[in-house]
Structure 1
């Protein structure tokens, strides 16, 4: 054999041996509260290093058969150094360090850096705050409704509108898996539980506009939830007059398999019985959720998200009396009911996500999910009403009762609605780090199969004759001339739809951090594309495609003042979902285009010291230009679309929020927002949209008694000006514009902390086994404000006028609450 060949073989063998002399160290980095820590830097002298992902997981290759020193560092924690580690070739070593907080105490306030700057208009919300803040529907949505750009005038609903959008324009993700809501819910009383289980939450991020291309195709907002990856066993329970919840966190001995499991039950009888309509109310809202994580190897992780929810709503209304009018002319509406409504919504979601670390710079993900819902709305309710003047003499034996009747009639509502929906998703996502940049991409396929039958009718009888719908074809001069057309419902829908939609979407984006004239600069540019095809029984097959470029920019100058400036812009499309294809008669319109919105958002974040305590002032101004708008009507929480694109609209507004330690050792905020949104239908001129919530003021306040620091107080206050929606549903909005009354509400919670992570007890104490124990009470609608969600329109037989009778929401309610964590 020739010498060059021998030398080549020797060199090749040495190279192979050199490349093979590596070992692997992996694990999960924890904080001192045993929570997984993202963005921890892990370095060695002989390696480029790595960082932990969103679950605190890391994997690092090191040189084998020699001493290694590994440093785990984070801006908010003290370093952990693993010295003199020697691993053999191809050996895998697991190490799960716990980093201790590196904190600074200022007059009892804990100041801890997060290691992240909010450069992409994403708000991060503490899970502990979510679980503690009182609200008729406690959870993530309760906190969101205190933000200046988020509005909701119904405490029984978990739905929310963001910066002029409606309830269908918000994206919700749980661990990168898109979640859905039931389709047919029309009343907030029928909403039992939010999909998001607060007991399972590890991290919450929210964007009210200008979000990145990696998030999907909606016009308004993104709620990005991360469920826990537990590292220790934990059992939590919460019991109150409104229901109960329990969650279990487990982890295997080898730390490879972990799970969180939650069960919730809720009964809204306490809240609904505080309303003016007396009824036999029997709701049962139950759901079961689980999130499992399995580390099959240092490079491959498998996750499973499962959810089953059953909302069984039964209501037998009995009677109602609503007093309204003025002091000089008090009026009352008295209603007697017969019949009942029975609604049932059963939903199930199963999702599987696999994550593979190809190398230190590249991670690949594959996500599949299937969502199934079967929904039933059955009701037969007859309402006989009397409209009249009220006896306002407090000394009278009939005070508050109707003295003289000015209108008598009846109303019959019948509903037989059935829906069966199946939604399948298959998605690939990935990211790769490139020096100071991150390249992200994704592709997704979605199949929607909807089977829907609508049968709704409403008959109105007034003074012994049936009232027809006020449509032009029914105009007549009765009783002067007989009108012999057949009897028809005042309002009615009868439709049967079988619709399928196939969607293909994808995105690519690049985020970069740089230095520019001693300033930290961040920018992200990306683009999304969405192609969809609608078809079905008796439905024309239609395909459409949209492209959405988006960009975000942020700069932090090297100033003495801690200031951050942000600018976001982009085009956002919302391809029609099933409800947006269905018009007011229930007919499917497959040619409905994607609604289009141009976003421009400018923001500032200023951190400073006030009263020797940390505060942050966050301000944003925004503008949206909307085209191809699909107009809709909103009644309670039900949205009905016109299923056309004959409208253009705009939104603009400004928000400010002051966040900080108003009381030492706590976090509170005060927010103020203004927005204006109007639409122009068929070039008839601009009128306010149904979500034209002009002014909003909100306070989230936490306090405690200095001499009894474990006695905590939580208060949230909301004031919102009234939105359009106080008009009859059949009227032309260009002729009849009426707003609901202003929404004012205060919820108070007071609790005593017997045990938590800062208050532990020796083994001999009865509280030793409790990681957390609290007992308290909540007062909903503290000042007993009479807020209304809609109006009932009743006609006066004498004057031929129609009166708007408010449908009031909940009154003051007391709730007791017990929280336990073992």
Structure 2
């Protein structure tokens, strides 16, 4: 509670600060002998500054306009450089002043070239905030990118190029972010860690990423929170919740801070599901990013987050119709009991930046993550499965007339988890020359996890207790009496106290040069990861401790030919390892297996970027082909967003595909894109042959389209459209996945947002009430506009007489309407 009050005081305190909308340029000025020049006059229009005794300077300039900066000093040649920067952007500019050379030509800093080389997709924060979706934010846009699969609008989790949710790295300002462990359903998930109101830059790589980005198999989402340059408030409210963000900078520009508060209630979405419930899904968080500049050389940052998810669920009844038109079938369920889940996470990180020289930057990052999670439920479900009356005009149309199976199911859980993770990391980069950079890092991580799992399920069909399908005890009820012991269909009881110590390091070298008349870019690096798992409870083989080490070399090469057409070709690859996190160590019985190996993937990516003009507007076509060969694979089952590993490393797998993305100004002044992805991924468990992995998403189409009414440009439209072919629908508990390869139906979804801009910061207004706002818009959103029946997984209903198991689809949300009001002060 004290921390909440502190955050509120900090939020109110921002109102005492103010400044204009600016960007920041800093750097050091040297002479020919690489000695700093003190007293250099630096002018940008009517503003200016001078370098200190070490040659350092810092200058604020207006944004979104061409600004010419003039550097003058007695005895040295005059230098002019032109900049056009965005709000809050901060760059380094380090000119050399000489008496013997001509003045430096006009300079414009452009980060797009580096992003092309790295194979990174950059998404504008404005696009993230304006484009609509049931779960708005960064992940809402990722699902429109090729190679990214999100087939659950209630979840922020995503799979990339055949990987699962645990194979993605997320960073905020170079600080690694974690997510809760126990969440099994998108309904429980709530808010993404990333607060879009605080975001300055979003970079995403779907594979072939550099050594500096860590040890995961699939992707990197690299978020940068902004350093404010003026006071401002942004507010957003809708039927699903609201958010409030405030930012400010002190008058001397040394201290800056931004804070965001969010609240979300998913009742509007969940109450539209087929299961009638009393549900209270409440999610809230507070986030802040603070910066204090002690000097030009030393900056200190703090990133903090408190998040609370509360999910109370009391199901009443459910009816699901499936089958065919000729043979319709329905499942009717009556429920008793409830589920209560709570996830409380606290995260804090300090980051110190020391700019030793213009070429050498040293960083120290320390972070702590603490999560306490509870998952409690007792739910009794009595079901009836039968044929549906399909005679049009009959008074009993739609009712179950003949029961093919009846039964009940009782599920129970008392799961508790407490995890504490500490990180301390040193990072550095050194510019060997203007074209060559060396980067390195050493990181230590300590994970302390306390986990109690008590979970069981009892199934009864027509009065007979259904046992798990264990062949040592054949069960031929009701035709033969069963004399074996009665056991629960599922029964998991485990208590684990696990400590994991990790030591990671990387070094990478990057160079930009010329090959003939062609620009070329090189990057090569290697990571090393050593980890030790200590468990208080030995596994079945008596193993309670294990230490392993892996090396991960990676490289990238890109060439921009001296052609008339603007083309860039890129190849990237390496050996990628994923040392197991706690969830990957825990098998289906809840027992921790300390000797689980790191999954290994040999990854290669071939890419091309073609920039061109169409209708006299900029466009870009990005193409990537990739192949991944995986060994020591840890097989898993996927139910909604819950992953259960076998913890055996007894499989090998592969994935290959093609991703295409065309983006540009299809409508003048707006950015839209069309994407296509083809993927095939299979695994071979115990050399039994290849079968589709749970994330085998064959075809993917995504569209993000923005438009406005030509005669009423303030009336805008945003369309977010996704089509995915179906993934394997999973299998019943204890079943052989080789026997269950039926796919779910295709995922089709279109979210539409229509908004009217009442106030635009680019316009001036005479009305007094409008002058109080910088931005103000009112909109209507339609989620799942075409009311498609999408499914996330199957519920398996068993009939003791026929021995059949019916796959009952679990449908996602139907069409839902929302109203949103957004304002910026």
TM-score when normalising by structure 1: 0.89
Q: Residue 10 of structure 1 corresponds to which residue in structure 2?
A: none
Deviation (angstroms), 1:397 = 2.7
Q: How does 1:45-84 map to 2 (within 5 A)?
A: 46=31, 61-64=36-39, 68-70=40-42, 80=44
How big is each residue's C-alpha offset from its partner over 1:176-230, in whole Å with a ceiling of 9 and x where there is no partner?
1101000000011101000000100000011000101111110000000000100
Residue 70 of structure 1, CA deviation = 3.7
The residue that corresponds to 1:95 in the other structure is 59
Distance 1:61 1:659, change over 3 A: same
Asked whether the 8 Å contact 1:36–1:229 carries over to 2, the reply is: no
Aligned to 1:27: none
Residue 638 of structure 1 pairs with residue 642 of structure 2:
yes
Q: In the comparison of the two structures, how many residue pairs are matched?
A: 759
Deviates more, 1:485-494 or 1:523-532: 485-494
What does 1:259-270 correspond to in 2, within 5 Å?
Answer: 259-270=257-268
Distance 1:214 1:323 in 2: 50
**CA shift in 2, pair 1:721/1:92, >3 Å:** closer
Picking from 760, 771, 776, the partner of 1:756 is 760
Q: Which residue of 2 aligns with 1:815?
A: 818
- SS of equivalent to 1:579: helix
Structure 1 residue 196 and structure 2 residue 182: aligned? no
Tell me, yes or no, if the aligned pair for 2:580 and 2:596 is still in contact at 8 Å. Answer: yes
Per-residue displacement from partner, 1:701-725 (whole Å, max 9, x unpaired)? Answer: 0000000001110001111011112
Question: What's the TM-score, normalizing by structure 2?
Answer: 0.89
**What are the within-5 Å matches in structure 2 for residues 670-749 of structure 1?**
670-749=674-753
Task: Report if aligned partners of 2:233, 2:245 keep a CA contact under 8 Å in 1.
Answer: yes
Distance 1:241 1:371 in 2: 31
Conserved? CA contact 2:23–2:63, under 8 Å = no
Give the superposition deviation at 1:398: 2.4
Aligned with 2:140: secondary structure?
Answer: helix
Q: Is the 8 A contact 2:585 2:596 kept in 1?
A: yes
Match of 1:120 in 2: 118
From the superposition, tell whether residues 228 and 47 of structure 1 become closer, same or farther in structure 2 (CA, over 3 Å): farther
Q: 2:332 aligns with which of 334, 354, 371?
A: 334
Mapped to 1, the partners of 2:478 and 2:375 lie a distance apart of 37
For 1:772 and 1:86, locate their aligned partners in 2 and report how far apart those are by CA, in whole Å: 36
User: How far 1:731 sits from its partner (Å)?
Assistant: 1.7
Q: Secondary structure at the match of 1:741?
A: coil
Cα distance in 2 for partners of 1:94, 1:219 equals: 40
> Is 1:627 aligned to residue 631 of structure 2?
yes
Instruction: Give 1:465 deviation, angstroms.
Output: 1.5
Query: Within 1, Cα distance between the matches of 2:47 and 2:476?
Result: 96
Indicate the SS of the match to 2:396.
coil
Partner of 1:593 in structure 2?
597
How far did 1:610 drift? 1.0
CA positional deviation for 1:396: 2.7
| C-alpha distance 747-255 of structure 1, shift in aligned 2 (>3 A) | same
SS in 2 for 1:607: strand
Contact 2:574 2:604 in 1 (8 A): yes
Distance 2:57 2:695 in 1: 56
Aligned equivalent of 1:472: 471
Aligned to 2:551: 547
Shift of 1:87: 6.9
Q: Output the CA distance in 1 between the equivalents of 2:355 and 2:709.
A: 50
Distance 2:771 2:202 in 1: 31
Indicate whether 1:438 and 2:434 are aligned: no
Q: 2:21 aligns with which of 19, 22, 34?
A: 34
**Contact 2:660-2:676 at 8 Å conserved across structures:** yes
In structure 2, the gaps of 5 or more residues are: 1-18, 68-107, 539-543
- Deviation, 1:93, is 6.7
In 1, Cα distance between equivalents of 2:30 and 2:682: 61
For 1:48 and 1:149, the matched residues in 2 are separated by: 50
**2:178 maps to which residue?**
180
How far 1:541 moved relative to its partner?
1.5
Match of 1:648 in 2: 652
Residues 454, 136 of structure 1: alpha-carbon distance in 2 compared, 3 angstrom cutoff: same
Any conservation in 2 of the 1:315–1:342 contact (CA below 8 Å)? yes
2:809 to 789, 806, 809: 806
For the pair 1:501 / 2:500, whether they are aligned, the reply is: yes
Task: Determine the C-alpha separation between the residues in 1 that align with 2:20 and 2:651.
Answer: 52
Question: 1:767 is paired with a residue of what secondary structure?
Answer: helix
Equivalence for 2:577: 573
Q: Displacement, 1:84? A: 9.0
- Counterpart mapping for 1:136-535 below 5 A: 136-435=134-433, 436-479=435-478, 481-535=480-534
Counterpart selection for 2:769 from 766, 772, 777: 766
SS at structure 2 position matched to 1:214: helix
Work out whether residues 43 and 70 of structure 1, in 8 Å CA contact, stay in contact via their aligned partners in 2: no
Tell me the secondary structure at the aligned position of residue 738 of structure 2. Answer: coil
Q: Tell me the CA shift for residue 538 of structure 1.
A: 2.2
Shifted more, 311-320 versus 537-546: the winner is 537-546
- Secondary structure at the residue paired with 1:766? helix
Deviation per CA, 1:670-694: give whole Å up to 9, x if none: 0000010011111111111111000
* CA RMSD across the alignment: 2.1
Match of 1:793 in 2: 796
**Contact preservation (8 Å) 2:28, 2:36:** no
Shift of 1:480: 5.0
State the alpha-carbon separation in 1 of the partners of residues 301 and 32 from structure 2.
29
1:479-515 deviation per Cα after TM superposition (whole angstroms, max 9, x unaligned): 4543333321111110000000000000001111101
